[in-house]
Amino acid sequence: MQATAETQTSEAAIVAAAQALRQDAVRMLGELVAHPSLMSEERSAQAYMADTFAALGLQVHEFQIDEDRIRAHPGYSPSIVSYEGRPNVVGIHKPDGPSRGKSLIFNGHIDVVPTGAPALWTHPPFDPFIEGDRLHGRGACDMKAGIVAYTMAFKALQSLGLAPASPVYFQSVVEEECTGNGALACLVEDYRADAAIIPEPLGGIMTCQLGVIWLAIEVLGKPVHASVAQTGVGAIDFSLYLFAELKKLEARWNEPSARYRCFAHHAHPVNFNLGKIQGGEWASSVPSACPATFASASIPT
Question: Are the beta carbons of 128 and 33 closer than 8 angstroms?
Answer: yes
> Is the Cβ of residue 25 or residue 143 nearer to Zn ion in the bound state?
143
List the one residue from 46, 171, 288, 301 that touches Zn ion (CB under 5 A).
301
Residue 71 CB, shortest distance to Zn ion, in Å, is 24
Task: Pick out residues in 209-268 that bind Zn ion (CB under 5 A).
Answer: none
Q: Which stretch binds Zn ion (CB under 5 A): 11-19, 193-201, 241-249, 287-295?
A: 193-201
Residue 200 CB, shortest distance to Zn ion, in Å, is 5
CA distance 84 to 41: 10
CA distance 86 to 96: 31
Residue 35 CB, shortest distance to Zn ion, in Å, is 16
Q: Which amino acid is at 92?
A: I
- Examine residue 142 and tell whether it contacts Zn ion (CB under 5 A): yes
Residue 198 CB, shortest distance to Zn ion, in Å, is 8
Q: Which stretch binds Zn ion (CB under 5 A): 24-32, 141-149, 154-162, 282-290?
A: 141-149
Residue 290 CB, shortest distance to Zn ion, in Å, is 30
CB-CB neighbours of 114 under 10 Å = 9
- Examine residue 175 and tell whether it contacts Zn ion (CB under 5 A): no
Task: Pick out residues in 266-285 that bind Zn ion (CB under 5 A).
Answer: none
Q: Which stretch binds Zn ion (CB under 5 A): 4-12, 99-107, 140-148, 289-297?
A: 140-148
- Could you write out the DSSP letters of every residue in 20-57? TTHHHHHHHHHHHHTS--BTT--HHHHHHHHHHHHHTT
CA distance 119 to 129: 17
- Examine residue 111 and tell whether it contacts Zn ion (CB under 5 A): no
Q: How far is CA 148 from the centre of its chain?
A: 14
CA distance 275 to 116: 12
- Examine residue 171 and tell whether it contacts Zn ion (CB under 5 A): no
Residue 109 CB, shortest distance to Zn ion, in Å, is 6
Q: Residue 199 to residues 78, 93, 146, 163: CA-CA distances in angstroms?
A: 25, 18, 5, 20
Task: Pick out residues in 118-137 that bind Zn ion (CB under 5 A).
Answer: none
Number of residues that bind Zn ion (CB under 5 A): 4
- Residue 270 is given by DSSP the state -
Q: How far is CA 51 from the centre of its chain?
A: 21
Q: Which stretch binds Zn ion (CB under 5 A): 24-32, 74-82, 196-204, 230-238?
A: 196-204
- Cβ-Cβ contacts under 8 Å for 166 (sequence gap 6 or more): 95, 99, 100, 101, 102, 103, 104, 194
> Is the Cβ of residue 107 or residue 301 nearer to Zn ion in the bound state?
301
List the one residue from 112, 143, 152, 236 that touches Zn ion (CB under 5 A).
143
> Is the Cβ of residue 108 or residue 232 nearer to Zn ion in the bound state?
108
Question: Are the beta carbons of 29 and 193 closer than 8 angstroms?
Answer: no
CA distance 147 to 207: 19
> Is the Cβ of residue 142 or residue 175 nearer to Zn ion in the bound state?
142
Provide the binding-site residues for Zn ion, judged by CB under 5 A.
Answer: 142-143, 200, 301
